[in-house]
Amino acid sequence: MKAVLTVVGKDAVGILAKVSTECAKYNVNILDVSQSILQDMFCMIMIGDVDKLNVPFGEFSDAMAKMGDEINMSIHVMHEDLFNSMHRI
Amino acid sequence: MLETRDILETISMIQDENLDIRTVTMGISLLDCIDSNIDVACQNIYNKITNKAKNLVSVCQGIEKELGIPIINKRISVTPIAMIAAATHSKDVVKFALTLEKAARAVGVNFIGGYSALVQKGFAAGDKELIESIPEALSVTDHVCSSVNIGSTKTGINMDAVAMMGKVVRRAAELTADRQCIGAAKLVVFCNAPEDNPFMAGAFHGPGEPDCVINVGVSGPGVVRAALARPEAQSLDLSGVADLIKRTAFKITRMGQLVAMRASERLGVQFGIVDLSLAPTPAVGDSVAHILEEIGLESVGACGTTACLAMLNDAVKKGGVMATSHVGGLSGAFIPVTEDAGMIDAARSGALTIEKLEAMTAVCSVGLDMINIPGDTPSEVISALIADEAAIGMVNSKTTAVRVIPAIGLEVGEELDFGGLLGSGPVMPISGYSPLKFINRGGRIPAPLQSLKN
């Protein structure tokens, strides 16, 4: 089962490091990362394998959102099924 | 592989364009709760609802978290209570409403619908008692919603019931005059009522439905409007506009299907239908009126409104049908006045009138919905308005409904504010000419011919 993490906010040093450290804490294996800077906005999409997650999915999602608030970034974690069902027939 | 563009599109739909699941509604049959003793029947009902729906709210919250998509309301619909009340021969049917309220509070749902009667051809035992008790039932409860089906294409219109409902709607408003007349906002009068509708206030669990079922209603007017507002959509002709709406409706509905399947699997309850609806909220950017304006009207209510709405309604259905395995409910674009920021503005400025709304209901998914009318409107005028609306539904083989709120003590231009999803809006003028003799005749309007169409 894969989760999609989106991280959006003002660019700063160490965002990728902080987000991936937090993911590691919850045993999430990062499979893919794509990031871009639009003007000075940082926009990153990560695909993570959450099969071996060590807490319930909702708790992980809350923890990431809370961490996002601490570093002034907006972080959302969503199940990949949502995107697959909306954009694939 | 997931594409970045798709991911960003979904996220902006949810965060910026108010995309959400409006409701996950659990339909519960109460037929096995019938007892000739009203207290036993009420206890059976309470036990069944609290047993079947005990995990409804927590399961939906889990799905919200996992998919990152808000589920605004969790609701319950039950078998029309008139069918259960019939066996008790009791005059005190409000007990059933209090039981539904208690059960709704116990399981934490936002609304419970089904304080209803189906009287399209006539009154059976229990029907009249239930209808007469509706005003009181709605004034002593917060979560209970009521509906009455007074006509259908196959049966014609029960004008005795129509005459009753004019009085009931007025009384429901009078009894809650100290609370913005909210009673009338929880009461819908239907023609051709669907039996699997997840939307309030008209949800009930039809007698042909399974014991327990999950129905999902989607939302998403903001997403459609945003798609039409993009620069590349500005030069589209109407075929292009209809295609764009179809594509957007497809995506919205897929999300509804996913949530419905998850909820049904986790609750161990059969999946019923997805209601393909554009359901507005008073929030800015979540308005069906604004979609019509984005298509090219200066204001909703202008000439052209009915044509734009017809195209929108049809395109939403065409896009949604392929996205889900079972379609049902009201499916289409809703046009509730007080629940839609664009409609409220148009009603305030006078661009939108009840007469235009009535025309729009011939092509939209429901009917005259959430319209505030002057407090001194006589009950026979409300009955005649219901008859007009039911006639449109009956002749066109579609669901129509009336949910008007007589604003007791208020006049045209003054406002009622219900708060939350029900919104707020001005009192709109209504024809003052009397239909009294017509309503007093009673009887039935015969079912219409289904051939020789013109």
CATH code, domain with B307: 3.20.70.20
- Residue found under tokens 């419970």: B112
- CA–CA separation, B139 vs B160, rounded Å? 24
Burial class (CB in 10 A: 0-12, 13-18, 19+), B8: middle
Nearest-CA neighbor of B93 among B124, B50, B134, B146? B134
| Residue in B3, B6, B7, B10 to test binding to A, most A beta-carbons within 10 Å | B7
- CA–CA separation, B66 vs B69, rounded Å? 8
Select from B3, B7, B62 the Cβ nearest to the Cβ of A6: B7
φ, ψ (nearest 5 deg) of residue A4: -105, 120
A82–B3 CB contact, under 8 Å: no
A86–B6 CB contact, under 8 Å: yes
Select from B10, B15, B65 the Cβ nearest to the Cβ of A86: B10
Q: Which CATH superfamily is domain A2-87 in?
A: ACT domain (3.30.70.260)
| Residue in A85, A88, A89 to test binding to B, most B beta-carbons within 10 Å | A85
Query: Where are any strands of DSSP class E within A2-86?
Result: 2-10, 29-38, 41-49, 73-79
- CA–CA separation, B148 vs B165, rounded Å? 8
At residue B1, the pLDDT reads 65
At residue B283, the pLDDT reads 85
Crossing angle between the packed helical segments B127-139 and B94-107, to the nearest 10 degrees: 50
Poorest-pLDDT segment among A39-48, A67-76, B69-78, B226-235: A39-48
Q: Which residues of A touch B257 (CB under 8 A)?
A: 85
Tell whether A58 lies on the interface with B, counting CB pairs under 8 A.
Answer: yes
Is B28 within the bounds of a domain?
no
Give the model confidence (pLDDT) of A50-63 as tens digits: 999 999 888 999 99
Tell whether A76 lies on the interface with B, counting CB pairs under 8 A.
Answer: yes
At residue A35, the pLDDT reads 86
Q: Which residues of B touch A84 (CB under 8 A)?
A: 2
- CA–CA separation, B414 vs B425, rounded Å? 8
- CA–CA separation, B445 vs B383, rounded Å? 14
B66–A76 CB contact, under 8 Å: no
A78–B67 CB contact, under 8 Å: yes
Tell whether A63 lies on the interface with B, counting CB pairs under 8 A.
Answer: no
B10–A58 CB contact, under 8 Å: no
Is B402 within the bounds of a domain?
yes
Is B453 within the bounds of a domain?
no
- How much helix, strand and coil, in percent to the nearest 5, is found in chain B? 45, 20, 35
Q: B82: cis peptide before it, omega within 30°? A: no
φ, ψ (nearest 5 deg) of residue B271: -80, 130
Where would I find the H helices in B268-335?
A: 288-295, 305-321
User: Using 50, 70 and 90 to split pLDDT, how confident is the model at A42?
Assistant: confident
Handedness of CA B401, B75, B271, B15 (dihedral sign): positive
Is B96 within the bounds of a domain?
no
Report how far Cα A35 is from the mean position of its chain's Cα atoms: 11
Tell whether A35 lies on the interface with B, counting CB pairs under 8 A.
Answer: no
Q: How far is CA B287 from each of CA A39, B334, B393, rounded to the nearest angstrom?
A: 32, 10, 24
Give the model confidence (pLDDT) of B406-428 as tens digits: 999 999 999 999 988 899 999 99
Percent of chain A with pLDDT over 90: 46
Crossing angle between the packed helical segments B159-175 and B379-396, to the nearest 10 degrees: 130
At residue B78, the pLDDT reads 97
Tell whether A87 lies on the interface with B, counting CB pairs under 8 A.
Answer: yes
Residues whose CB is less than 8 angstroms from the CB of residue B364 and which lie 6 or more positions away in sequence, other chains included: B309, B313, B332, B333, B334, B335
Select from A4, A47, A85 the Cβ nearest to the Cβ of B257: A85
Residues whose CB is less than 8 angstroms from the CB of residue B369 and which lie 6 or more positions away in sequence, other chains included: B334, B335, B336, B337, B339, B401, B402, B403
A79–B66 CB contact, under 8 Å: yes
H/E run at residue B402 = strand B400-407
Is B240 within the bounds of a domain?
yes
Give the model confidence (pLDDT) of B357-381 as tens digits: 999 999 998 899 999 999 999 999 9
Whether the CB-CB separation of A83 and A4 falls below 8 Å is answered with yes
A87–B3 CB contact, under 8 Å: yes
Crossing angle between the packed helical segments A80-87 and B238-267, to the nearest 10 degrees: 140
Structural domain including B438 reads 217-445
Tell whether A72 lies on the interface with B, counting CB pairs under 8 A.
Answer: no
Distance from CA of B2 to the nearest CA of A (A): 7
Q: Per the structure block, which two tokens stand in for B299?
A: 């204001």
- The stretches in chain B having pLDDT less than 70 are 1
Q: Which residues of A touch B69 (CB under 8 A)?
A: 78, 82
Q: What is the total count of domains within chain B? A: 1
- CA–CA separation, B75 vs B80, rounded Å? 15
Quick count: other Cβ atoms within 10 Å of Cβ B284? 11
Q: Which residues of A touch B65 (CB under 8 A)?
A: 57-58, 61-62
